[in-house]
Structure 1
Amino acid sequence: MRTLRRSTRGRIGRIDSRDAKTGIGAAELPALAGGRIERVSVAREQDSVASRFAERIREEEELRLSPLAARSYPAVRVRPEEDCALRTPFQRDRDRIVHCKAFRRLTHKTQVFVAPRGDHYRTRLTHTLEVTTISRTVARALALNEDLVEAIGLGHDLGHPPFGHIGEEVLDSCLKERFGEDFRHYEQSLRIVDELERDGMGLNLTEPVRDGIVRHSSRAPLPETLEGRIVRVIDRVAYINHDIDDAVRAGLLREEELPREPIEVLGSSGSARIDSLVHDMVEHSATAGDIVQGPRAGPAMAALRDFMFEHVYLGPAVRAEHAKISSVIRRLFEHYVEHPEQLPRDLAGGDGTAAEDVASRVTDYLAGMTDRYCIRRYTELQVPQAFAR
């Protein structure tokens, strides 16, 4: 009987037959040699596999990836550290993001609709997963680095405050009025991975992932890598089409109200539109040396985005909730600015009382809240606790 083991190149290879009498294989413990029992070090073989991992990935990427793709090695981090023996640097970044607290909170953060009555509306987490999976599809089709795209996609919205874009708008206004500062969720995303996670140590992500996170918004400069540019475009592809789906489900839109020309170009259903936009991006980017959209699909998507801003994002139904959300966030903001000693002491900046420290700590606290935690804290401030239970 013959058994299999993994060779030092990570492939499956044959080993010697088991001993006919004892049934002991050459890689098993204990092994018989020269009339005495010797221990065969399985760890030695594992070390050999691990030592070849980075070299094997380099070889595979040279064969598989486009010359324009980002390479997994060498990894440049803010604080140098040894590479993982069994994961590429970008896979390691992906795992750090998925296991961080900010990522888990995304499941209770609004995408567009505040407190929707239903189980099938998008949250910030489902949006993140949709962006990531679509981006990986594009990266694979263009022979770009899927691990890098995945890490950027998973981390791009970590800094979004509660209540979606309305929450970002209100928090930005509060900071401008009180401290003359701005709030941008993509900058907060970078702050989270750099300074807030791991008790202030940060995740120490690679430079390409950090760049893709902080530059994924159209308001930021273009990302350095093509992988980052994929996420930047797919972020819009995903939220425009999925928000249309949610708006129709909520009764805010009817399919027939969508602008006719973009629908004729891209398709009548959300899945058809995403499929059209992905194919268009792949076809035009393959020969452009950059991530681009075609002359018809790009303007059609922009027209749908303008329509959504006018009729949904800034429409009367969503705006009706704006005053409520604004009062909640403003009340919390003013309270913690006046009483910074009530902020959690583990926030970056400690218990500093300088204006810039207070602004930073209040922003970190509010931006990190989920929708329901934000409402709970507001209720605790507004309602006597005997009645709030």
Structure 2
Amino acid sequence: MATELSTGAVAAAFHERQRAREAARLSALAQPSYPADRVRDEPDCGLRTPIQRDRDRIVHSKAFRRLKHKTQVFVAPAGDHFRTRLTHTLEVTGIARTVARALDLNEDLVEAIGLGHDLGHPPFGHIGEAVLDDCLREHDGRRFRHFEHSLRVVTVLEPLNLNASVRDGILSHSGRSPQPQTLEGRIVRLVDRIAYLNHDIDDAIRAGVLDERALPAGPIALLGTTGSQRIDTLVHDLVEHSEEAGDIVQGAQAAVEMDALRDFMFSEVYLAEAARREHVKIETVLCKLWRYYLEDPERVPDGGGIPGADPAQRVVDYLAGMTDRFAVNAFETLFVPRGFEA
């Protein structure tokens, strides 16, 4: 409820000033910040646009805080410099803002989408996603996809009442989902791939899983020998071709070389022998937890999950929200024998 301390001349003039600024500065192809388009109507903030408010709601959510302890590629790495799901999120968001700024699109919108796009990722990265998907499919034929679960997080598990353009960008950020409706959402979708490919190479080399000399010659020759060079090349290519096309697109040659780099990473890192060994361990942890909680969903803390959800969904919601270390601790507590002190 507004009070005398929350009103004033700055707040009173904010909406019109922001609308005028966007009208003068943003491309005609940009998604404007006004009017708000929420499922539940609410008064606008006096000092933030509706999209800036969504960004803040995402950053203050519990799901966002948990990203710092969720795997990007390497599970529970011992070193301090490996990416987590949180650092990946921040890297994607920063690159996406650069692209939006260059194209005069809505930076606040790409920031909100970028910060929220991976909120639904389960523990243990894409391996964890595959295991939960297998569990759910075997149970009743449903699927678990992290991009769909990201939307569930912000609409059901932590209902943030986000704008439609932010919700659409979160849901549509994956290559397995339909194209986003806004150019800002399409930026995040493409930049997500640019970021993770190059940062995963850096982490794989640091982990000793990949020899830098083994990187495919074609993509490296065109895109650059370092991660920063490759990202810079791909971003410049993206903004130039997007400006010309009036859409978010890569140049044909850059797209081909980036796909070749992606194929190399799947073959040599993501699906390599070391990753398959971890897959077996992760499958053991998550499948045991899945069966334990599905046997009696009331074992799930906080009353068994979201009221009204069916038992399998309640268990999936709980498991997907776990961090890596929480999942391992839960497994050890439930299934690993403990010694007794005299």
Q: TM-score, normalised by structure 2?
A: 0.96
Distance 2:131 2:265 in 1: 20
2:145 pairs with 1:192: no
Distance 1:51 1:257 in 2: 59
Distance 1:217 1:348 in 2: 27
2:182 pairs with 1:221: no
Structure richer in helix, relative to its length? 2
1:317 deviates by 1.0
Q: 5 Å matches for 1:134-173? A: 134-173=95-134
2:248 pairs with 1:291: yes
AA aligned to 2:274 is A
1:373 deviates by 0.2
Question: Which residue number corresponds to residue 115 of structure 1?
Answer: 76
1:287 deviates by 1.4
2:208 pairs with 1:251: yes
Distance 2:30 2:303 in 1: 39
The answer (yes or no) to whether the contact 2:305–2:315 under 8 Å persists in 1 is no
AA aligned to 1:107 is K
AA aligned to 1:278 is V
1:349 deviates by 3.2
The answer (yes or no) to whether the contact 1:196–1:347 under 8 Å persists in 2 is no
Distance 1:163 1:47 in 2: 48
Distance 2:114 2:24 in 1: 25
- Relative to structure 1, the CA distance from residue 239 to residue 387 in structure 2 (aligned partners, 3 Å threshold; closer, same or farther) is farther
The one of 246, 256, 266 equivalent to 1:309 is 266
Question: Which residue number corresponds to residue 317 of structure 2?
Answer: 364
1:235 deviates by 0.3
Looking at both structures, which has the greater relative contact order when contacts are Cα pairs under 8 Å and sequence separation is at least 6? 2
Instruction: Tell me the SS of whatever aligns to 1:286.
Output: helix
Distance 2:138 2:38 in 1: 36
- Relative to structure 1, the CA distance from residue 289 to residue 337 in structure 2 (aligned partners, 3 Å threshold; closer, same or farther) is same
AA aligned to 1:383 is V
| Unmatched segments (≥5 aa) in structure 2 | none
Question: Which residue number corresponds to residue 239 of structure 1?
Answer: 196
Q: 5 Å matches for 1:64-79? A: 64-79=25-40
| Unmatched segments (≥5 aa) in structure 1 | 1-42
Instruction: Tell me the SS of whatever aligns to 1:287.
Output: helix
Instruction: Tell me the SS of whatever aligns to 1:238.
Output: helix
2:334 pairs with 1:377: no
Distance 2:228 2:14 in 1: 38
1:299-322 per-residue CA deviation (whole Å, 9 max, x = no partner) reads 111111111011100011111111
Q: Percent identity?
A: 65
The one of 52, 56, 76 equivalent to 2:13 is 52
AA aligned to 1:362 is V
AA aligned to 2:296 is H
The answer (yes or no) to whether the contact 1:195–1:348 under 8 Å persists in 2 is no
1:108 deviates by 0.2
The answer (yes or no) to whether the contact 1:216–1:223 under 8 Å persists in 2 is yes
Distance 2:6 2:140 in 1: 59
2:280 pairs with 1:327: no
